[in-house]
Structure formats: C-alpha cells, structure tokens
Chains A and B, each alone.
Chain A
C-alpha cells in the first residue's frame, strides 16, 4: 500500500475487478477512441496498442483509488462508532411502537 498507512492492511483488499477499475478502464478506452476519431482514424480498429495502454492505466489507477476509498470510509466509520460509543446520552433507544398504536381506527364505508 503505497500512500496508505500500515493500519490499512487489516482491510480486505478489493478484487481485481472493482467498480473504480472498470469505470476508469472504460474512460481510458473512451479517451483512446476519442483520440482516434479526432485524428480521423477508425475509432475501434486503429491504435489497439494505445487502447490497451489507456485501459490498463485506468484499471491500475482505479484499483488503487478503490483501496484508498475503502480506507477513507473505514476511518470515517471507526470515528463515528467511537463517537457513538463515547456519547451514549446523545443516542437514546427509542421506544418502539407497534402499528396498532399508531394507525387510526378503520371505519369502512361501503
């Protein structure tokens, strides 16, 4: 984990196929196809090496972005849980009402 601290190692790593990777890969592919069409080349069949490289770069960035995102959300969750644990007076247990107590009496008009 390059930019992440060591405590991030307890988090499960994302799979090779993950949301950000797929999205960034598709964006890279769209960039390569746009590059082709702006240079008046056939969009899909030209510059396959460029398409492959852009998809790969996007996929790579997406994987590390997913790891970073998981770590950020995990720290937020940890801080929130710690706050809730330290301030129980702000989170009282609400008395649950059944539907029978809330609902108005039913008078059918047929």
Chain B
C-alpha cells in the first residue's frame, strides 16, 4: 500500500515522460534552449581537457616508471 502511494507521485516527478495537456508545446527548433546547449558544449570541453590531462599524466608516469625521463 505505501508503494502504491509512492507510485502515485510519478506524475509529479516525470513531467518529461507524461506531459500536461494544458502546458505542453512542440519543441521549437528556432528557439534553442541556450542553457542546455551551453552545458553540452561546456561538458564537451571539460571532457576533452580531462582526456588530454589524463593522457599526459599517463605518458609522464610511463616515462618515469621505465626511467626514460
């Protein structure tokens, strides 16, 4: 019974899956959600920076481990 009460809350938390008829709208490509676009490009840049840093760390560790430095 408590699980049933919990499941009744799903309509309040997943507004993306089930859209309210009164406030839903078609996604408009001419008005991009700049926050989401900014976050996407930002996380892209962060991931590339992480990758390059990890690679340079790995190369440095390999050289010091094998005494090539």
1/0 per residue, CB under 8 A from B, across A41-63: the answer is 10000100110110011011001
Listed in ascending order, the chain A residues whose CB lies under 8 Å from chain B are: 1, 9-13, 15-16, 39, 41, 46, 49-50, 52-53, 56-57, 59-60, 63, 67
Report the count of interface residues on B (CB-CB < 8 A). 21
State in angstroms the CA–CA spacing of A35 and B48 once bound together.
23
Q: Chain A contact residues: over half helix, strand or loop, or mixed?
A: helix
Instruction: Write the chain B residue with the least CB distance to A41.
Output: B29
Please indicate the chain A residues that have their CB under 8 angstroms from the CB of B55 in the complex: 13, 15-16, 63
What are 29 sample pairs from A and B whose C-beta atoms fall under 8 A apart?
A1-B58, A9-B61, A9-B62, A10-B65, A12-B62, A13-B59, A15-B55, A16-B51, A16-B55, A39-B27, A46-B29, A49-B36, A49-B40, A49-B41, A50-B40, A52-B40, A52-B41, A52-B44, A53-B43, A56-B44, A56-B47, A56-B48, A57-B47, A59-B51, A60-B47, A60-B50, A60-B51, A63-B54, A67-B58
